[in-house]
Structure 1
Amino acid sequence: MTQKKIFFVLIAISTVSLLLHHGGHLNLTFEAFWLGCPSSTLSSAQGSSGPAPKHTSISFLKTHKTASSTVQNILFRFAERNNLSVALPVTTCDHQFCYPRPFSTHFVHPHTTPPDIITNHLRFSRAELRRLMPNNTIYITILREPGAMFESLFSYYNQYCLSFKRVPNGSLETFLDHPWSYYRPEEKDSMYARNTLTFDLGGDKDRPSIGAPAYAKQFAAEVERVFSLVMIAEYFDESLILLRRLLSWDLDDVLYVSLNMRTPDSKSNLSSQNTAKIRAWNAIDSVLYDYFNASLWRQLRALGLSCVEREVQLLRQSRDRLVRGCFGGYLPPLRSASQITNKELRPWQPSAKVAIVGYDLPINITQKGHVPLREECLKMIMPEVQYTRLLLRSESLRYRRRFPLRNSQQILQSAGHVRAHREPPPPSLIPQPSENMSQSTRRVLQLS
């Protein structure tokens, strides 16, 4: 071997050793080289020799019971790390954009405009989102297999959705035997009882059966024209690989822990017969899921399944490393909301009949060397409602620093897409530090 070859080999070994020594945080270009995978789609499309800049204009349609809360948390944390603005609902809409009403720019809090990212629940309206978001916005959503999704919806909204509430003994099997005996299309919350994915995407959940198959195919094609990526919950990590490549993000940008999960005893095992009944009842959702599940796998095969498998392994290793760095080796224990001592980590409970679990973080938890828990670690396990309110407080403080002389009436009048009669957020809806919070949570709430 010539001296020149030996020199280059030593340089390569030194570079790899250095990167691994610093925690293995490899950038997108180096990962692609190391794994033998194609570079990101955006980088290739732009014909650039180097990695494309991270894309920051994102509209994520947060669908129901599809692992979308976990994606939302990824986007919230990315926005904070990169000093991006997140569109958040006005307080009269709570933590959703006045769902189930079709989305309107009127529902966006004026302190959070113009936004880079939007991710809270809304019913999709492309026209209204185009008015709000930048022209280069990338649209993303996530779907879940209709049988598992409907079982989750039935359990989660059993005491809210009247179509479910009137079923004797709260039996899913009874509902599936005669759904039209309990379902009322015009009732409040009926969107949880039939074709919920279609409704969230702005479609017609109650299209008559005679025209439903043709409508479903047409609607799936329309969704594909708008959304650059439709993730699939059953293949969550594989979907994240496509997401980060689409956005030219680093692997560290899509690390996560699962949120908004039910306890095992809240779940029902579906027979194949009941799964078939659910898919027939949610026929449009079923077409959508099958269409985009096939689309996802076409994209994965184009990337190379062996490449995807290696990236998924790297993703999981990086996630384990993050957990070790945050919590000393293991995630905090999962507990029902009533058992979680820190109220800032208690997930919202839909009813007493279903338990949503969160992470119980002891007040005195520390890292190695008795260093207090990092704020980014706390936010990674923070439920949607609390994180949304925290971001609203942070965005409002930033807005007031930019426009210190404007009173609340002037703010409302200057925001052409917000009705002038809206009141500023009541103090009770903005989290404040309390005596029983951990020091880490206190610091998070004091952020501007």
Structure 2
Amino acid sequence: MACVLPALLYSSKMLSRKKAFLLLLLAFSTGTLLLRQSAHLGWFPKSPLFSCAPPLPARPKHTAVAFLKTHKTASTTVQNLLFRFAERHNLTVALPHHACDHQFCYPRNFSARFVHPYTLPPRLIASHLRFNRDELQRLMPNDTVYVTILREPVAMFESLFSYYNQYCPAFKRVPNGSMEAFLDNPHRYYRPHEKFAMYAHNTLLFDLGGDPDHSPDDAKYLPGFIRQVEGIFSLVMLAEYFDESLVLLRRLLAWDLEDILYVKLNMRSPESKLNITSAHVAAQIRAWNALDARLYGHFNATFWRKLSEVGPECVQKEVQDLRRACARLARHCLGGRPQLRPAMQIKNKELRPWQPSAKVDIVGYDLPGSGAPLDEQCLKLVMPEVQYSRYLLRKQSLRNRRRAALHRPLPPRGLLRPPRHPAPKAV
């Protein structure tokens, strides 16, 4: 408009005041319309790489990422934003073979054999697996950044007990599904070598490849294990400080704010949660999961040291930027504040989250129906883990087959046969 106004003012000397006024009004209206359209299209801010000090040198986005998806730690939300990043940047995502369902044959130790051949070679991996350093390093590129997320053991155990009450034999044995009864005498119900026993004891340690049944009295075991974790994982996020964790993730990978936008996924309804109000019960959970509690305590301290290196004011500024951008994204995709719905109330079957049992209600989102085609990015934003994994596998399988067809050698010229013409029809 700065260029248009002088020209209009000049021409107004030659035109009548009425015509000049109409031209000015038209220019103003056009400029306002363009501004509104740009605001509508850009519902996340195009901010610089990092919005506050300390300034860091510009570098390209890091695209080789291995995310260890731990259980009941908000890891599905992290997985979703990683999947969306991979699609935007045309990255191959390692996905489980059909025999492993949507996890890498968990709880078996991870093996590269569990990866679907159509998802090789990958730049990103983010599905459930039990950590195996050698196999992952054999699969992933040398420049891979390793990341995981932990959760405070009391809240995590409550979630595990509720979510897996129909899968974990130790939980199924408890009369009336009472978590208090289990904690009063866990060895009465727990069998270390049963299938799905890992959900009942030191699950974080198990997912990271450790021994959940190792004696907590061994003063050398856990410090040695922590050193191994720190030797490969560049960032250990915390579910309780999710937005702060994403700030650290974005800085680690040199990503944009757009790359870490999210809505919460795989959440239980309030009726499916067990309220822990007793300090005694919380102490029992920490004592039963003593290795997890100490592991979390160590990385909790490490996490806050990383935040202090960035600076409290800087972290708070970027957290606020993230929350505002997520709110804008929710308004764009969901028409306002996200409304969580029971699975059977979600009209689009592709958006219905998997239900672990009849006793647990996992809620999800439904995109507002307006008759217009669905916004693909909004669809992916709220797509549950199982459906998104299957979608990516289909997409990458198709891409793999197309590439194979392009590179398939032609037969020797002598073997080519002339096309057969159909015989003339009898009259």
Residue 416 (structure 1) aligns with: none
- 8 Å contact from structure 1 (residues 196, 205) kept in 2: yes
| 1:39 CA drift (Å) | 3.2
- 8 Å contact from structure 1 (residues 194, 282) kept in 2: yes
SS in 2 for 1:237: helix
| 1:339 CA drift (Å) | 2.3
Letter of the 2:364 counterpart: G
- 8 Å contact from structure 2 (residues 170, 197) kept in 1: yes
Work out the number of aligned pairs and report it.
370
- 8 Å contact from structure 1 (residues 104, 128) kept in 2: yes
After the TM superposition, list the runs of 4 or more consecutive aligned residues in structure 1 that deviate by more than 6 angstroms.
Answer: none
Task: Give the whole-Å Cα distance in 2 for the aligned partners of 1:202 and 1:339.
Answer: 38
Answer yes or no: is 1:127 the counterpart of 2:122: no
Structure 1, unmatched stretches of 5+, are: 1-16, 44-50, 408-448
1:23-422 matches, cutoff 5 A:
25-29=45-49, 31-32=50-51, 35=52, 37-40=53-56, 43=57, 51-211=58-218, 213-270=219-276, 271-331=278-338, 333-362=339-368, 364-365=369-370, 372-404=373-405
| 1:337 CA drift (Å) | 1.5
Task: Give the whole-Å Cα distance in 2 for the aligned partners of 1:328 and 1:207.
Answer: 50
Measured against aligned partners, the alpha-carbon deviations of 1:273-297 in whole angstroms (never above 9, x if no partner) come to 1111111111111111011111110
- 8 Å contact from structure 1 (residues 161, 188) kept in 2: yes
Measured against aligned partners, the alpha-carbon deviations of 1:142-196 in whole angstroms (never above 9, x if no partner) come to 0000000000000000011000000000000000000000000010000000000
SS in 2 for 1:379: helix
- TM-score (ref. length: structure 1): 0.80
- TM-score (ref. length: structure 2): 0.84
| 1:27 CA drift (Å) | 3.8
| 1:261 CA drift (Å) | 0.3
Measured against aligned partners, the alpha-carbon deviations of 1:309-334 in whole angstroms (never above 9, x if no partner) come to 01100001111111222233332x21
Structure 2, unmatched stretches of 5+, are: 1-34, 409-427
Q: Percent identity?
A: 63
Task: Give the whole-Å Cα distance in 1 for the aligned partners of 2:279 and 2:228.
Answer: 30
Say which one has the larger Rg.
2
SS in 1 for 2:72: coil
| 1:406 CA drift (Å) | 9.0
Task: Give the whole-Å Cα distance in 1 for the aligned partners of 2:393 and 2:140.
Answer: 18
Task: Give the whole-Å Cα distance in 2 for the aligned partners of 1:199 and 1:375.
Answer: 36
- 8 Å contact from structure 1 (residues 146, 286) kept in 2: yes
- 8 Å contact from structure 2 (residues 216, 291) kept in 1: no
| 1:24 CA drift (Å) | 5.9
Task: Give the whole-Å Cα distance in 2 for the aligned partners of 1:280 and 1:130.
Answer: 34
Measured against aligned partners, the alpha-carbon deviations of 1:174-225 in whole angstroms (never above 9, x if no partner) come to 00000000000010000000000000000000002431x4312221121111
Task: Give the whole-Å Cα distance in 2 for the aligned partners of 1:178 and 1:227.
Answer: 35
| 1:80 CA drift (Å) | 0.1
Measured against aligned partners, the alpha-carbon deviations of 1:25-76 in whole angstroms (never above 9, x if no partner) come to 23434x43xx3x2235xx4xxxxxxx11000000000000000000000000
Task: Give the whole-Å Cα distance in 2 for the aligned partners of 1:104 and 1:221.
Answer: 23
Task: Give the whole-Å Cα distance in 1 for the aligned partners of 2:212 and 2:48.
Answer: 40
Task: Give the whole-Å Cα distance in 1 for the aligned partners of 2:103 and 2:44.
Answer: 37
